[in-house]
Amino acid sequence: MLKAMSGKMCSSSSILQAQKLVDQLQIEACMERFKISLTAADLVRYCQGHRRSDPLITGISSSSNPFKDKKTCVLL
């Protein structure tokens, strides 16, 4: 069950992990790449165009906040 690899003993699980890593790296190597300068400029334009509706910038009104506690807990 143990195999020699580069002078070290490796278990089958580490071989499987290494194969998964190689497969993932091969997938990533085949992906189409975008020029960072174009992508960054597009991102800046998008953020500037949507900043008025961005809750991280403008905040959320307490009446429309779905995460606001509906009731308060009072301990006596």
Share the mean pLDDT of the chain. 80
The pTM is what? 0.35
Higher per-residue pLDDT: 61 or 26: 26
pLDDT tens track for 1-38: 444 455 456 688 899 999 999 999 999 999 888 777 77
pLDDT of 10 reads: 65
Cα distance between residue 23 and residue 33, in whole Å:
18
H or E segment and range at residue 28: helix 12-29
